[in-house]
Structure 1
Amino acid sequence: MLQVNYITRPWFFDISVEFIRELKQRVNLNVILIIAPATASYLGLSDQEAKRYLNKTLKLEDVLKGENYQRLYPYFEGANVLCKFEEHNESSIKNAFGWSKLLFSNKNIYKADYTIIESLSFADWYFLFRIRNKKLFYIIHDPVAHTGEERGRIDTLNKLYFPYIDKFITYSHFSAKIFSQNFPLYKEKLEIFKMPIYTSLNIGKQKAYEVKKRKKVVFFGRISPYKGAELFYDAAIQLAIDYVDTDFIIAGKAIEGYNPDFLNYNPYQNIIIKNRFIDLEELHEIMSDADLCVLPYLDATQSGVIMTAYAFGLPVLVSDCEGLLEYCFDKENFSFSNGDIDDLRNKMEILISSPDLLALNKQQILAYSKQNVSAKNVDLTIS
């Protein structure tokens, strides 16, 4: 049986656990989660807990406790899972020492036939140097920078590491196209996965039945320039007065330095702003109670929010970015012209007034969920 290492970080946890759950059934799998205090909340850990673990490597069961462990254990059962705690941007020497300790205590990592890595970092140079004679696969989520984002550091990393990678993996055909255009030297090494539904995010808490009195339309995710939260807010303003029985919700934390006006002043009672990190319990409450999720992105190679919404059987209205349309099952009714507030408002209005369209889309989501695309992704990896 093949031996494989899988290296990831909490940013990608929602998508990686779906792949890991299938991969561990086919190979002997080592998983290394690289965790910093700034990213610990993705795993349900507090900053204080993460700081207590700094510069240590622990087993998963020593890090995750209670309901959080019970929720995630089935995804990792049978794999050797290590949690490596480090600080962002720590010194190269300190980080190399941390990798040295981890590898000394886990020599089976050297025996892997190949390593899959989901996020490149300057800090990983020591680890990559030690496995330089092994095959290396790289899952690349965003080949180029989004609107309003700087990627100078990432571009430097790419130039440094890309020549040593044996296979590149993307989760959309559009992302693959962008990768091929920007890195033509490596396009022959490219594999395309299908995005899985993020089942781990639906904690499945049962709610007491109650008659639904209000409709809810939600924008969920990090509030940043390219995600179009201001466009959603402006469309919601136009609908809020006529649709007093509908709540328009913006849920997610704004990135540092981005402060759109609606975060400071919002006079509309049925436009609700939740500018904070949304934990799993609140996510479940929002998504389970929503009628429609809206992604008014200005650009996108793919979107985890789509697969988050689909985990709750929630229909999604997307802008017509290629990376979003790829996972839109009804492009006529559930997409709008990118940046066009009139088209966005009209589509939102149609959908919140069309229960039959929403019900049909839920059936399409259910059909996709039954495909088990992660098992097919594993086939592509080990073939």
Structure 2
Amino acid sequence: MIKVTLLHFGFEDYTVELANSLVKYVDLTLIHPEKLSNVCSNVLDSKIRVINFQKPRIRDPRNLLSMNSMIRIIKDIQPDILHVQETNDPWYDWTLLLNKMPPLVTTIHDVFRHPGDNMPVFGSEYTRRISFYRSQQLIVHTNQLRKILIEQFRIPPDRVNVVPHGELGSLYQRRGSQSLQTREPYTLLFFGRIFPYKGLQYLLEAMPLIAECIPEVKLIIAGKGENIKHYFPNGYDEKRYEIINDFIPLEEVCNLFQRSTITVLPYIEASQSGVAALSYGMGTLVVASDIGGLSEIVQHKKDGLLVPPCDVRSLADAIISLLSDRYLQQKMQTAALARCHQDLNWSNIAAQTVQIYQRQIDMQKKN
């Protein structure tokens, strides 16, 4: 059995679900900073060995000691494969550059920082490229990201693998309350970090157009980021908008998706989307911009609707058509849930990932 060490500094949801399925195929050890223990502990398979290490804040020079501790743990395990979830931590990147590592597989969730994201880690846009070149195999979630790595970063095509982002609904259902929320037939959800690239302004411009046809429509805006007040300089109608401009506790996320009929992703830039993955697993319909990785995740008119980015009229029309047609809703919801048992299923994703591990091990033996 392949001995795998899975290391992550974030992307907890993805890592938890991947680990829970990988442990069926490999001898798995999960390593992460101690601060992530509470998020992961209650939802991880008990067969997974978990090792924590202390990780200070990014600007703390004690990170040197932290990285030394991490390296010692990896060397003690002696894995056949070290699989790392993309990190924006320059301390890890320099550690990767200066140390001999086991055969390395890295999952890259976002090749570039999103436009308007005002929370960058100093220097990470440059240092994180170290992982692109030091990894024997890279995993991305869309063909668009694969093309960028091959064409712009000159990564050999045989080192870049496309593996879909699995559904996250089942994870949040395990975390959520046991009582099911009633689906509100005219409620929309905008969920996640609120930054300009998420295109919230276009959804807000579309709301009056939607309300002309569907007076009962309501929008929940849930997430932290920009100050929401600049979107509503004159205040807002509390019957039309429910705003939670804060971090959403994990156990409450499930309720928001269960209540909502449609999750709206009016993004102006996208690489992939955990929000779409969560929506599919919760049976919540998706209307999204036809841009970047969203164009590959959402199958237009099958399990969701795609609209041109920044096109307020098209966005409104798509939402109106879906809210007005119960048969179409049921058809798309059935298709979305079916995908959760197919390409978005974690067992299938883990099996594909193990094939990448095995291919790299076979290549190492030949060399």
2-structure distance, mates of 1:221, 1:16: 18
**1:4 matched residue in structure 2:** 4
1:147 Cα deviation from its structure 2 partner: 2.0
3-state SS of 1:273 partner = strand
Farther-moved stretch of structure 1 (233-242 vs 169-178): 233-242
1:174 Cα deviation from its structure 2 partner: 1.6
Q: State the aligned residue count.
A: 348
2-structure distance, mates of 1:209, 1:308: 16
**1:46 matched residue in structure 2:** none
Letter in 2 for 1:215: Y
2-structure distance, mates of 1:179, 1:19: 23
Do residues 245 (structure 1) and 216 (structure 2) align?
yes
Percent of paired sites with the same residue: 24
2-structure distance, mates of 1:175, 1:264: 40
1:128 Cα deviation from its structure 2 partner: 3.1
3-state SS of 1:9 partner = coil
1-structure distance, mates of 2:201, 2:98: 47
Question: What is the correspondence of 1:173-184 to structure 2 with a 5 Å cutoff?
Answer: 173-184=143-154
Change in Cα spacing, 1:369 to 1:338, as seen in structure 2 (3 Å) is: same
1:98 Cα deviation from its structure 2 partner: 2.4
3-state SS of 1:141 partner = coil
Letter in 2 for 1:368: R
Change in Cα spacing, 1:18 to 1:103, as seen in structure 2 (3 Å) is: same
The answer as to whether partners of 1:31 and 1:82 remain within 8 angstroms in 2 is yes
Do residues 82 (structure 1) and 81 (structure 2) align?
no
- Give a deviation string over 1:2-45, Cα, whole Å, max 9, x none: 211111123x111122211121222221211235xxxx5xx6xx
The answer as to whether partners of 2:184 and 2:259 remain within 8 angstroms in 1 is no
**1:318 matched residue in structure 2:** 288
3-state SS of 1:226 partner = helix
Change in Cα spacing, 1:338 to 1:148, as seen in structure 2 (3 Å) is: same
Letter in 2 for 1:307: A
TM-score, normalising length: structure 2 = 0.85
Farther-moved stretch of structure 1 (268-277 vs 215-224): 268-277
Gaps of 5+ in 1: 44-59
Question: What is the correspondence of 1:195-274 to structure 2 with a 5 Å cutoff?
Answer: 195-198=165-168, 199-203=170-174, 205-207=177-179, 215-240=186-211, 242-255=213-226, 260-262=230-232, 265-267=235-237, 269-274=239-244
**1:118 matched residue in structure 2:** 85
The answer as to whether partners of 2:218 and 2:240 remain within 8 angstroms in 1 is yes
Change in Cα spacing, 1:215 to 1:326, as seen in structure 2 (3 Å) is: same
1:345 Cα deviation from its structure 2 partner: 0.6
**1:15 matched residue in structure 2:** 14
1:377 Cα deviation from its structure 2 partner: 2.6
TM-score, normalising length: structure 1 = 0.82
Change in Cα spacing, 1:180 to 1:105, as seen in structure 2 (3 Å) is: closer
3-state SS of 1:117 partner = strand
The answer as to whether partners of 1:99 and 1:126 remain within 8 angstroms in 2 is no
**2:362 matched residue in structure 1:** none
